[in-house]
Amino acid sequence: METRRSFIKKSVVISAAVCLPAALTRESRAAYPALKTRNPKKALVLWYSQTGQTRRYARLIGCILKDKGIAVDVRDMQEFDKNSFTNYDLIVMGTPTFYYDIPVNVSQWLGKIPAISGTPVAAYVSFGGPEGNQYNASTHILQLLADKGGVPVGRDAFRNIASYPTPNWNNPKQIDGQHLPDTATFDQVRRFAAGIMERISRGESISTGYELALREGLRILPLVWLNKKAISKHTVDASKCIGCQTCVKKCPTKAINPSRQTVDRDKCLACFGCLNNCPADAVVMEYRGERLYGFPEYLRRNKIVILEPQEFKTCSL
Ligand SMILES: Cc1cc2nc3c(=O)[nH]c(=O)nc-3n(C[C@H](O)[C@H](O)[C@H](O)COP(=O)(O)O)c2cc1C
Ligand code: SF4
Ligand code: SF4
């Protein structure tokens, strides 16, 4: 049976030939507004996260900034009022990498935020594999924030366990990331937060140019559509559902209706948030005819306990 990876690889050559030249021509922007502060007092660390990994880094960044005397709010993008953006003089945004880019619901959401002219902004992604186009995905967040007047002061990408559910989660690449995040990953996050503060204090910004990567070409492929073609039987098992509404809360498009056991296939983004968060294994999905199971079950079956940073012992964000 063809795996997701071989399926996607077949498309890479075609897509790269078609769209890489366009990707290579993306330039970084020439100038940003002046930074409105060199000494931020109130920071927002905003996260979008389906399986908790991006959120963990958001909390860690928040703890580090708080330790530097900054008032910090760490907030879930799905519950955040866009009008509150203007209350902050430092904004850090993190998302997972989905389909070689940031999730489409995140880019759409960021396109609608108010002007944040002169506010220092930093971006990070969490990602599941070294080939995931993570640099350009984090650049994409920075570009969207810079479009609203934000001044880019930091960008990074933190690798961890891939949350993409396949019928065969135990492939070598998946196992390769099973031990992440580790202490080195958390050190990378600490350096990221420190770098943001240093750049702001010096009044410096960074460029938002894309890296020249073949993978960048994949962004033009209809990957969500292709994956939806491979997914079948996407429903809710009424006999298992405990009515907790977690899937409804996590679904970015409100495509799932557990009381009717339905999924609106047109609205669905194939993000697997419902499957990856259902505590009762009640979300049914097949990928090319094989039954999928979600991230919590993947951790259970492989006895994986994710390491938490030491800061969380004393920091409650
Ligand atoms: C739908 C989907 C698509 C993904 N696509 C990619 C990808 O293109 N590149 C990558 O490195 N990781 C990919 N991943 C893995 C996630 O980016 C990674 O596990 C991330 O840390 C999950 O973050 P979260 O726990 O905050 O949701 C994907 C995961 C899902 C669920
Ligand atoms: S129905 Fe599930 S897979 Fe589809 S968009 Fe909602 S959470 Fe994501
Ligand atoms: S998350 Fe699972 S148990 Fe909870 S309402 Fe959705 S399908 Fe039912």
Q: Tell me, yes or no, whether 38 and 146 share the same domain.
A: yes
* Ligand 3 center–CA 211 separation, angstroms: 40
Q: Tell me, yes or no, whether 58 and 177 share the same domain.
A: yes
Determine contact, residues 273/250, Cβ cutoff 8 Å. yes
- Residue 66 belongs to a domain: yes
Residue 87 sits in a domain of what CATH number? 3.40.50.360
* Ligand 2 center–CA 287 separation, angstroms: 14
Q: Identify the burial level of 225 via C-beta atoms within 10 angstroms of its C-beta, where 0-12 means exposed, 13-18 middle and 19 or more buried.
A: exposed
- Residue 312 belongs to a domain: no
Higher pLDDT, 125 or 11: 125
pLDDT by residue (tens digit) across 45-58? 999 999 999 999 99
Give me the percent of the chain exceeding a pLDDT of 70. Answer: 91
pLDDT (0 to 100) of residue 2: 43
pLDDT over threshold 90, residue 185: yes
Beta bridge partners of 286: 232, 291
* Ligand 1 center–CA 119 separation, angstroms: 28
Q: Which of 271, 275, 277 to mutate to test the pocket of ligand 2 (most atoms within 8 A of CB)?
A: 271
Q: Tell me, yes or no, whether 238 and 296 share the same domain.
A: yes
- Judged by average pLDDT, the poorest of 14-18, 98-102, 104-108, 158-162 is 14-18
Residue 294 sits in a domain of what CATH number? 3.30.70.20
- Residue 240 belongs to a domain: yes
Q: Which domain covers residue 12, as residue numbers?
A: 4-27+34-218
DSSP string, 29-69: PS--PPPS-SS--EEEEEE--SSSHHHHHHHHHHHHHHHTT
Tokens matching residue 115: 């002007």
What is the three-class DSSP state of 114?
coil
Determine contact, residues 312/67, Cβ cutoff 8 Å. no
Query: Average pLDDT for residues 98-124, to the nearest whole number?
Result: 97
Please give the order of strands across the beta sheet that includes 231-236: 231-236, 283-287, 290-291
Q: How confident is the model at residue 168 (pLDDT cuts 50, 70, 90)?
A: confident
Residue 99 carries which side chain, given as an amino acid letter?
A: Y
- Residue 288 belongs to a domain: yes
Q: Tell me, yes or no, whether 57 and 179 share the same domain.
A: yes
Identify the domain boundary among 203, 218, 233: 218
Number of domains composing the chain = 2
Tokens matching residue 287: 């990928």
Beta bridge partners of 257: 262
CA pseudo-torsion sign 189, 192, 194, 196: negative
* Ligand 1 center–CA 167 separation, angstroms: 16
The residue written with tokens 């009762």 in the block is: 280
Query: Average pLDDT for residues 239-258, to the nearest whole number?
Result: 97
pLDDT (0 to 100) of residue 13: 43
pLDDT (0 to 100) of residue 30: 56
Identify the domain boundary among 175, 200, 218: 218
Which residues contact residue 169 at a Cβ distance below 8 angstroms, ignoring those fewer than 6 apart? 298, 302
Q: Tell me, yes or no, whether 186 and 242 share the same domain.
A: no
Q: Tell me, yes or no, whether 192 and 234 share the same domain.
A: no
Query: Average pLDDT for residues 27-42, to the nearest whole number?
Result: 83
Determine contact, residues 106/77, Cβ cutoff 8 Å. yes
Give me the percent of the chain exceeding a pLDDT of 90. Answer: 79
- Residue 307 belongs to a domain: no
- Residue 311 belongs to a domain: no
Q: How confident is the model at residue 218 (pLDDT cuts 50, 70, 90)?
A: confident
Q: Tell me, yes or no, whether 99 and 228 share the same domain.
A: no
For atom 31 of ligand 1, the residue with the nearest CA is 164
Q: Identify the burial level of 31 via C-beta atoms within 10 angstroms of its C-beta, where 0-12 means exposed, 13-18 middle and 19 or more buried.
A: exposed
Q: Tell me, yes or no, whether 173 and 281 share the same domain.
A: no
pTM for the model = 0.91
Q: How confident is the model at residue 143 (pLDDT cuts 50, 70, 90)?
A: very high
Q: Tell me, yes or no, whether 136 and 172 share the same domain.
A: yes
Nearest to 54 by CA among 104, 158, 126: 126
- Residue 243 belongs to a domain: yes
Q: Tell me, yes or no, whether 242 and 96 share the same domain.
A: no
- Residue 276 belongs to a domain: yes
pLDDT over threshold 80, residue 133: yes
Highest average pLDDT, of 15-24, 105-114, 130-139, comes from 105-114
* Ligand 3 center–CA 295 separation, angstroms: 14
Beta bridge partners of 291: 286
Q: Which of 51, 247, 260, 295 to mutate to test the pocket of ligand 3 (most atoms within 8 A of CB)?
A: 247
User: Which ligand does the CA of 213 lie closest to?
Assistant: 1
User: Which ligand does the CA of 245 lie closest to?
Assistant: 3
Q: How confident is the model at residue 22 (pLDDT cuts 50, 70, 90)?
A: very low
pLDDT (0 to 100) of residue 23: 46
Q: Tell me, yes or no, whether 92 and 174 share the same domain.
A: yes
Q: Identify the burial level of 259 via C-beta atoms within 10 angstroms of its C-beta, where 0-12 means exposed, 13-18 middle and 19 or more buried.
A: exposed
Nearest to 5 by CA among 223, 277, 275, 217: 223
pLDDT over threshold 50, residue 105: yes
Q: Tell me, yes or no, whether 160 and 283 share the same domain.
A: no
